[in-house]
C-alpha cells in the first residue's frame, strides 16, 4: 500500500516554486517546453537506454512481495509544470495524465513517446485565468469514456464520442463545487470523488467559492448525489478496496497529513471512519509531498502518494516502504498488463515495475 502526495507545505500553494523547478529542469534538458516540438524531442528519449532516477526505501521485508529487489524508477518524460492523474487507456495502449497548470491531458505511448491528447482539459471558459485550471484526476467509466475531475470548470466531466466534454455533475444543492480533484468508480458504476479548493484561483479565500466545506461525495449511477463527509480539511486522493467494502481518502493538509478509511455500506454510503495512516510527522523538506492520489491493487495493497513519494501500505495501514522519484509525487496509476505503476512526480512522468496488479486488468 502507498501513501499520497504533496510538498512539505501544501504543494498546491507553491506554484511559483514548481515553475522554478520546471524552468531549471528545462535548462538541464535544453530548454524544453510543452510544445509539439518539445513533445517530439522528449519522446525521443524513449528510444534510448532507460533513464533511472530515485530510490526505493524498504522498511519491511514484505515489500519484496510487491516490488522486486532490483525494481527501479524509469523516467519517461519531463518538463511539465504539475503532472497528475495517470490512467491507462486500454484502446490506445498508452498512459494518459494531466498537466494541471497547462490545462492539458497528455498521452505517453511506448515506442511513440509524448503527444497531446486533450486541450483544454479542465477549464473551457473564455475569460483568462491563472492557477490550477486543468483536469486533475482521470478515470474511465464502464463504457470506456474518459471521465475527468475538472478544476477550472468545477465539475466532473466526460469525454463523449464526438470529442466534446459533457458535464456529469456540477452542483451540490444548487451550489458549484470547489474544484473536483480525484475520483473512482465502484463495480456498480457509482462514482466517488473529492472536492478540495485547489482549483480556485485564490483557494480558500476565492470570492467565487460557494461551499463552506471541502467534501467527499458519492454520485450514484441513477444521478443521485450524496455528501459523504464535510469534515476533512483537504480531501484529495480516493480509492476502493478490491471487494468494494473499504473507501480510502487522503487529506493533503500539511498540518493534518493523513489517510482515513471508511466502511462502505450496501447503499454506497460510508460509516466507521478511522485513521489509516498519519504522516504529519513526516512532512518537511526531506520528504516533499503530501497525501494525494492513490491506487489500491488486486491484493488490497495501497499505493499512495505522500511525503517522500509513493508510500506502500498493507490493508491495515502498515508502511512497507516508499518509492522515491525525488520531487513531490502527485498521483500514480497502473498500466500495461496491470503490473506497471506510473507516477506523476511534479515535472516528471515515470514508472516502476511491480509484482502485483492494479484492479480491472
- Rounded CA-CA distance 213/293 in Å is 20
Whether 29 has a pLDDT exceeding 50, the answer reads no
Reported as a single tens digit per residue, the pLDDT across 176-231 is 999 999 999 999 999 999 999 999 999 999 999 999 999 999 999 999 999 999 99
Q: Tens of pLDDT along 157-183?
A: 999 999 999 999 999 999 999 999 999
Task: Please tell me the predicted confidence (pLDDT) of residue 10.
Answer: 39
Closest CA relative to residue 251, chosen from 264, 241, 261, 236: 236
CB-CB contact of 217 with 192 (8 Å): yes
Report the candidate in 312, 282, 314 with the shortest Cα–Cα distance to residue 300. Answer: 314
262 strand-pairing partners:
247
| Architecture per CATH, 11-48+83-289 | 6 Propeller (2.120)
How many other C-beta atoms can be found within 10 angstroms of the C-beta atom of residue 244? 14
Q: Which of residues 32 and 247 earns the better pLDDT score?
A: 247
- Mean pLDDT to the nearest integer, 82-99: 98
The phi and psi torsions of 236 (rounded to 5 degrees) equal -140, -105
Question: Nearest to residue 171, comparing CAs of 197, 188, 195, 206?
Answer: 195
DSSP 37: H
**pLDDT above 70 (res 332):** yes
In degrees rounded to 5, what are phi and psi of residue 111? 85, -15
For all residues of the chain together, what is the average pLDDT? 90
Q: Find residue 56's DSSP bridge partners.
A: 323
Q: Got the DSSP string for 234-302?
A: SEEEEEE-TTS-EEEEEEEETTEEEEEEEEEPTTS-EEEEEEEEE-GGG-BTTB---S--EEEBTT--E
| Residue pLDDT, tens place only, 116-143 | 999 999 999 999 998 899 999 999 999 9
Note if the bond before 120 is cis, omega within 30 degrees: yes
Q: Residue 80 and residue 42: Cα distance in Å, rounded?
A: 11
Rounded Cα gap, residues 285 and 14, in angstroms: 13
pLDDT at 49: 87
Tell me how far apart the alpha carbons of residues 345 and 238 are, in angstroms, rounded to a whole number. 18
Mean pLDDT of 270-297: 98
Proportion of the chain above pLDDT 90, given as a percent: 86
The residues pairing with 98 across neighbouring beta strands, listed in sequence order, are 84, 105
In this structure, are residues 314 and 301 in contact, taking their beta carbons and an 8 Å threshold? yes
pLDDT at 45 over 50: no
Grid cell in block for residue 106 = 497528455
Query: Distance between CA 53 and CA 145 in Å, rounded?
Result: 33
Give the span between the Cα atoms of 258 and 251, in whole angstroms. 5
329, with CB counted inside 10 A (0-12, 13-18, 19+), is: buried
Report angle CA 198, 202, 203 to the nearest 5 degrees. 30
Percent of the chain that is helix, strand, coil (3-state, to 5): 10, 40, 45
Average pLDDT over residues 71-93: 98
Q: What is the pLDDT of residue 48?
A: 75
Amino acid at each position: 500500500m502507498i501513501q499520497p502526495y504533496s510538498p512539505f507545505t501544501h504543494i498546491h500553494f507553491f506554484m511559483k516554486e514548481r515553475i522554478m523547478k520546471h524552468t531549471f529542469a528545462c535548462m538541464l534538458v535544453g530548454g524544453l517546453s510543452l510544445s509539439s516540438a518539445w513533445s517530439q524531442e522528449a519522446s525521443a528519449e524513449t528510444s534510448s537506454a532507460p533513464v533511472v532516477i530515485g530510490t526505493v526505501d524498504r522498511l519491511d521485508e514484505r515489500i519484496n512481495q510487491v516490488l522486486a529487489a532490483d525494481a527501479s524508477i524509469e523516467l519517461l518524460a519531463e518538463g511539465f509544470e504539475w503532472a497528475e492523474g495517470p490512467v491507462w487507456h486500454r484502446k490506445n495502449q498508452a498512459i494518459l495524465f494531466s498537466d494541471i497548470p497547462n490545462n492539458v491531458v497528455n498521452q505517453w505511448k511506448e515506442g511513440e513517446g509524448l503527444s497531446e491528447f486533450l486541450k483544454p482539459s479542465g477549464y473551457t471558459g473564455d475569460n483568462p485565468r491563472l492557477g490550477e485550471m486543468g483536469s486533475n484526476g482521470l478515470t474511465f467509466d464502464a463504457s470506456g469514456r474518459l471521465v475527468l475531475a475538472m478544476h477550472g470548470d468545477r465539475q466532473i466531466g466526460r469525454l463523449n464520442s464526438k470529442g466534446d466534454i459533457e458535464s456529469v455533475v456540477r452542483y451540490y444543492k444548487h451550489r458549484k463545487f470547489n474544484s473536483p480533484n480525484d475520483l473512482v468508480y465502484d463495480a456498480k458504476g457509482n462514482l466517488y470523488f473529492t472536492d478540495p479548493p485547489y482549483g480556485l484561483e485564490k483557494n480558500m479565500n476565492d470570492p467565487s467559492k460557494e461551499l463552506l466545506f471541502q467534501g467527499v461525495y458519492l454520485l450514484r449511477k441513477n444521478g443521485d448525489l450524496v455528501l459523504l463527509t464535510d469534515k476533512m480539511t483537504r480531501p484529495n486522493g480516493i480509492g476502493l478496496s478490491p471487494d468494494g467494502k473499504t473507501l480510502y481518502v487522503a487529506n493533503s493538509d500539511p498540518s493534518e497529513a493523513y489517510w482515513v478509511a471508511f466502511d462502505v455500506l450496501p447503499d454506497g454510503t460510508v460509516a466507521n471512519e478511522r485513521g489509516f495512516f498519519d504522516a504529519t510527522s513526516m512532512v518537511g523538506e526531506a520528504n516533499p509531498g503530501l497525501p494525494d492520489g492513490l491506487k489500491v491493487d488486486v491484493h488490497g495493497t495501497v499505493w499512495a502518494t505522500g511525503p517522500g513519494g509513493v508510500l506502500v501500505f498493507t490493508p491495515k495501514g502498515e508502511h512497507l516502504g516508499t518509492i522515491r522519484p525525488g520531487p513531490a509525487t502527485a498521483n500514480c496509476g497502473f498500466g500495461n498488463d496491470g503490473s506497471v505503476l506510473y507516477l506523476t512526480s511534479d515535472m516528471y512522468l515515470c514508472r516502476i515495475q511491480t509484482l502485483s496488479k492494479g484492479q480491472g486488468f
